[in-house]
Amino acid sequence: MEQSNSPLAIKTGIDLVHMPRFEKHVTDQRFLQRILTDRELVLFEELTTTRRRLEFLCGRYACKEAYSKAMGTGIGVTDFHDFEVLKNDSGAPVSDKGAVSISHDGAYAIGMVIIYG
């Protein structure tokens, strides 16, 4: 089934990440620069523990994958830098391209994106 192109369409994407897959990438600057935007990298560098950096990286990765799914393209057509997740004054994840939600539990991170119109 094709996604609707109606101006009132709601597009959703969700992605689940097994965080141990990314443990080796937390200190890999080349990988981090490929996945995170410059502003996301600033937020990442402010984090003081390896665990929190891993959660941040995996949450952002999951949201970027979720965004590509919501767009119906997948990563490849959509680049990791096409979707940026920052934080509001309360620390909640935000994006100017849609609503986002990130959660972590144990070895998993999940990201969900909702795009309106």
Q: What size, in residues, is the chain?
A: 117
Residue 86 · residue 42 · CB < 8 Å: no
- Catalytic residue of the set 11, 25, 64, 104: 104
104 is a catalytic site residue = yes
Q: Which residue from 23, 113, 107, 105 is spatially nearest to 63, judged by alpha carbons?
A: 113
**Annotated active-site residue in 69, 81, 87, 97:** 69
Rg of the chain taking only CA atoms, in angstroms:
14
Number of other CB atoms surrounding residue 56 within 10 Å: 23
3-state DSSP assignment of residue 76 = coil
| Residue 18 is among the residues annotated as catalytic for this protein | no
Catalytic residues: 69, 104
